[in-house]
Chains A and B, each alone.
Chain A
Amino acid sequence: MKKIHIVGMIMIAIAIVMISTAADDLSTYADFQTARQSNSLVKIAGVLSKDKEMQYDPAIDPNYFSFFVKDSKGEEQKVVLYGSKPQDFELSEQIVITGKMKDGDFIASDMLLKCPSKYKDEEIYIKAAES
């Protein structure tokens, strides 16, 4: 057996290990029901509940923005983002939030907005916290 084959086999072995651990990084889009049962980060795709109250008042706290999201099952849930309110938030068609439940609120650490626009499908990416 050539040395290079041994190296190749080691690499394949590492690859298998990596792929099996990488599976933990994957998830399907969750809903608030599963978020409540889970203790880890979940990703939820939903739409903004436009009739519900949105709260962002920098004069009180520039790092507190709350709003309601309706998930794929139609459940509405209050979401809190410890950051500023993104530009054109109200116009978003779809919101993808990453985070977890805490004390009845969904705390988002990451948010991706999809906005309809006259431009190319321009999206706004908000990092709530450093990663």
Chain B
Amino acid sequence: MESIQYIGEHLLPGKLGHIFILLSFVSSLLAVAAYYFATKHIGTTSYASWRRIGRVGYSLHGISVFAIIGTMFYIMLQQYYEYHYVWEHVSEDLDFKYIFSAFWEGQEGSFLLWMFWHVILGGILMFSAKNWEAPVMAILALIQVFIGSMILGLYFDFGLSEFRLGSNPFMLLRDLKEAPIFAQADYLEKIKGTGLNPLLQNYWMTIHPPTLFLGFASTSIPFCYAIAGLWTKQHRAWLKPVLPWALFSGAILGTGILMGGAWAYEALSFGGYWAWDPVENMSLVPWIILLAGIHTNLIANSTGYSIKSSYIFYLLTFLMIVYSTFLTRSGVLGETSVHAFTEMGLEVQLISFIVFFLLLSVVLFFWQMRNIPTPKTEESAASREFWMFIGALVLLFSAVLITGSTSLPVYNKIAALFDPGFEGKTITDPITHYNKYQMWIAVFIALLSGVAQFLRYSAVNWKQQAPKVMKRLGILAAITVGLTFLTNYWLDIYAWQYLVLLFFCLFSVVANLDYLINFTRLNLKVAGSSLAHLGFGLMVVGSIASGLNKRHISSNPFATRGLLEEELIKKNVVLFKGVPLKMSGYDVTYVKDEFQGNNRLYEINYKKKSPAGEVIEEFNLFPTALYNNVVTKVAAYNPDTKHSLTEDLFTHIASIPKVEADAEFAKSFEDSLNYINYPISGEEPIYILDTILALDTMVIRKFSAELVSTTKHPESEEYEAQEGDLAIGAKIIIKNVEDLKDQWTVDPIFLVRKGQAFQFPGQINEASLRVNLSPASFPYFFTPEEQLDYELISFKLGDKLRFKDYEIEFSGVNKTPDHPDYIAQPKDIAVSANLLVRDTRSGETKTAAPVYLIRGKNQGSFKDVLDDWRLHFNFESIDPESGSIKIRVAKNEQARPKLVLSIAKKSFRTDYVVLEAIIFPGINFFWLGAILMMVGLGMSIVHRRNLAH
């Protein structure tokens, strides 16, 4: 193929970017090698020089990563659409504040985000890890090698097959897509970016991914320490410095996961914060295993037990992170997940990533297993470490169960490899499935976390302490029973399993609170663990409350539990604009809606009234319809929530009329409306027949339309007059002939503005009629001058002259004339003649005031028309000397043209929303508990860091 010289492309940044990618990859390899030899030479003189090379290598790697990211931001900010990544994630209308979101929306960007955090964490380790620097950094750099390979973008041609290593974010659009447009040298002028998914244009997308990826990246550090411990055979020494890192990772990863939940709850319309989606599960699992590791690490630090398990848990945490990366990025989850990435051809690389580090861990562990110290004696059943270890096992158990179920698509894939006819299995009802098992895990964890605090490491003094501890736990249990009844009075839990769970969680809250106040004496240094455990209990209480007792108030107010099958519980109501609807004690009104950018805000007013009718509570919620970037179509509906201490009121729009949601449909709908023209005069009504087809019957409705008045200066809510407008309007009364109580007034307007025609129809929702004023109505309003046969009449002040059946009196002039078409300018000389016109047959009198104008060298006139008598008056001239004026008068003798209405039947109302409103009781306990848990973890970091030094 002959090559084309493309115009306007910026190829330099892409080339630079790819050089940085290669540099970052090579320098990470250098760091691995140098730190490897440094580790080999610890204690010798060459250690320092190897370490220096390692540091240089890793720093070079870090700089290259920053340079890649910098280059990517540069091409994104410059909107160089010749690059595929820019074209896919950026668009002209993208707000600058979402540039970060656009950066990590794609796979390559999120790999870079992950690498970025490894660079930062590695930098901290270089300065703080002391003796551990060399082995830990060697492993971290090795991880960077693998992640870096994902964006390498190298092609290997093996003749028959070609292999691609990684996906380079600087690929050109024309290299990745085939389209005829690339045959044109100036294709760049014709393409636009597709832009960021509107669903992701919110602040959650700005804060959630970096937090989560810092969480992912931070799990590497305990992993690196564990490998380093095995490698250097220092099985005890790594346990103290690793603990603060593990706690940090637990806090950040936990926060990242919770942010995902908060995002789902606050900004998406799923109506909950956790759905046991595979992607959610696979970030939860490493976190659970990490927590197990933290517990065995604490045991190991205090007693020397559980060193092996600490190794296993920390190794497993990172391996699960890599496994989760594989699941979410390989496309294997397919139809089971809401937010998995699509395939990118990285499967082989992702699998090698897991397999390599799995083998490394397994080989090192079994090589060293016999050397890992274990105390000879068994731990006492009354010791804290025994129950903590049981707790860690329960956590592992939970992780295994979740992983097992979530990996179902992986088994299916493997099974299908061996047996092509294999039919994939799937979990019919995932949420019930996971809840069923995990609730018993929660029961055990809550019990253990409540009791274990009161036990001592190595069961010191247990014989003397036992009666006291037992008594205290007894009292706490009794208090919890009372509290459970009180809570259940509020929640009304119907299944005994949940009552058991509630009891144990409350027990954990009570016991940890007691421990916090009476044993740690609120000493913040050591309060971390009690606070975190208290938080866990509270969190589960919150999820029981909000999960079991969430109720739809948007309909079925009388649906009692059990009477209706689950799927029959109706969730939505239709809310017409301005029409209040009663919903579970609230009067709910759709007040109005307005656009803010591509976001359409609906104002929904909630009012609670006392029996006397006074408003005792009132608030507005603003659920939104989010349109696509060009505002032609709804992309998603986002909720709004009223938060209060005891419950949340969650409101979201389930649907809006299709003509409102889709501009293309709206146009085709308007086109499909069958408008029929009805000429109408003021004298007699016209009739409209509408046939309604019901299932097996036909109903014919008959409406009459009467013309009340017409105007050349219409006004309405939608139409605001501007200078130069040519507008006509009419007032029509439409009646249901069968039932005259049904009558409506419409004011359709037809407007010509700057050469364009606009229609403002009148809509009658009850009759599904839409009334337009047809442009064919113009002859009704305006008479062509050539149709008129003018007669020139000369008046002196006070003259009464006869014209046909009328007597016209010139009663004076007005030097500041008021004529609708005349807009005064300075230096105008303008007068109007006051003409009293009397119909000699009826005796009725009307006034006409045509205007005579001298503006500069031009002179002209504005005519006045007495529409009903069809008389036209033109002010011809003034003779200042004699004081006489000349008026041209004409009567239009032809039959008056009729007004033309175009009326469409079956035009349904479009001012409603379909609303879903849910009350989540006690959900704030969930968030409060979650925050306490993270704060507890955070406080422990400080405490354990001090102990490690």
Contact = CB atoms under 8 A, between A and B. Distances in A.
A18 B394 CA distance: 14
B360 interface: no
Interface residues of B, number: 65
Given A25-B429, A27-B426, A4 B378 contact: yes
Nearest to B575: A62
A62 B574 contact: yes
B199 to A, nearest CB: 7
A120 B339 CA distance: 9
A25 B270 contact: no
Contacts of A58: 572, 574, 655, 657, 912, 914
A32 B105 CA distance: 38
A5 B637 CA distance: 53
Contact of A28 (B401, B424, B909, B914): B424
B251 interface: no
Contacts of A4: 378-379, 386, 389
B572 A63 contact: yes
B338 interface: yes
A98 B916 CA distance: 21
A49 B358 CA distance: 46
Given A22-B437, A118-B194, A130 B550 contact: yes
A11 B341 contact: no
Contacts of A114: 335
A26 B275 CA distance: 18
Contacts of A59: 574, 908-909, 912
A7 B654 contact: no
Interface stretch (B146-154, B171-179, B562-570, B745-753): B562-570
A62 B573 contact: yes
B405 interface: yes
Interface string A76-95: 00000011110100000010
Contacts of A123: 335, 337-339
Given A25-B433, A62-B914, A94-B335, A85 B655 contact: yes
A124 B268 CA distance: 11
Contacts of A129: 566-569, 571
B433 A63 contact: no
B390 interface: yes
Contact of A62 (B194, B342, B655): B655
Contact of B271 (A2, A8, A63, A127): A127
A120 B912 contact: no
Interface centre among A15, A63, A83, A123 (most CB of B within 10 A): A63
Contacts of B425: 26-28
Contact of B572 (A15, A28, A84, A107): A84
Summarize B's interface: helix, strand, loop or mixed: mixed
A63 B199 contact: no
A121 B107 CA distance: 12
B428 A18 contact: no
A11 B393 contact: yes
A101 interface: no
B429 A130 contact: no
A98 B405 contact: no
Given A62-B572, A62-B574, A120-B105, A131 B437 contact: no
Given A3-B386, A25-B433, A29-B424, A121 B574 contact: no
A41 B429 contact: yes
B808 interface: no
Contacts of A11: 393, 397
Contact of B429 (A8, A124, A131): A131
B381 interface: yes
A63 to B, nearest CB: 4
B555 A63 contact: yes
A80 to B, nearest CB: 9
Contact of A22 (B341, B389, B433): B433
Contacts of A128: 567
Contacts of A8: 393
B847 interface: no
B680 interface: no
Interface string B434-450: 00010000000000000
B426 A29 contact: yes
Contact of B427 (A2, A25, A108): A25
Interface string A1-22: 0111001100100010011001
Interface in A38-60: 41-43, 45, 56, 58-59
A106 B431 CA distance: 21
A42 B429 CA distance: 9
Contacts of B555: 63
Which of B386, B427, B912 lies at the interface centre, i.e. has the most chain A CB atoms within 10 A of its CB? B427
A115 to B, nearest CB: 11
B635 interface: yes
A96 B572 contact: no
B432 interface: yes
B636 interface: yes
A28 B431 contact: no
Nearest to B916: A84
B423 to A, nearest CB: 4
A96 B338 CA distance: 12
B661 interface: yes
Nearest to B276: A131
B340 interface: yes
Interface centre among B337, B339, B574, B909 (most CB of A within 10 A): B574
A125 B275 CA distance: 10
A125 B574 contact: no
Interface in B192-241: 194, 197, 199
Contacts of A7: 390, 393
A109 interface: yes
A29 B424 CA distance: 7
A2 B321 CA distance: 33
A122 interface: yes
Contacts of A82: 567-571
Contact of B335 (A98, A107, A112): A112
A87 B194 contact: no
B634 interface: yes
A121 B566 CA distance: 30
A7 B386 CA distance: 11
Contacts of A85: 655
A28 B412 CA distance: 10
Contacts of A83: 571-572, 654
Nearest to A128: B567
Contacts of B574: 58-59, 62
A43 B428 contact: yes
A18 B404 CA distance: 12
A129 B570 CA distance: 8
Nearest to A83: B571
A11 B397 CA distance: 8
Contact of B437 (A18, A94, A110): A18
A127 to B, nearest CB: 7
A107 B550 CA distance: 23
Interface in B455-481: none
A56 B339 CA distance: 27
| Residue of B338, B427, B428, B908 with most chain A CB atoms under a 10 A cut-off | B428
B81 to A, nearest CB: 14
B181 to A, nearest CB: 16
Contacts of B342: 120-121
A43 to B, nearest CB: 5
Of A41, A96, A108, A131, chain B has the most CB atoms within 10 Å of the CB of A131
7 contacts: A11-B393, A25-B428, A25-B432, A43-B426, A82-B568, A82-B570, A130-B569
Given A26-B428, A84-B916, A114-B335, 19 more contacts: A3-B379, A3-B381, A3-B386, A4-B379, A15-B397, A15-B400, A25-B432, A27-B426, A29-B424, A58-B574, A62-B572, A82-B568, A82-B571, A120-B197, A121-B342, A125-B338, A127-B270, A129-B566, A131-B566
Query: Which 10 pairs across A and B sit closest by C-beta, in order of nearness?
Result: A84-B654, A63-B570, A109-B567, A62-B572, A121-B342, A28-B423, A84-B655, A131-B431, A25-B433, A119-B197
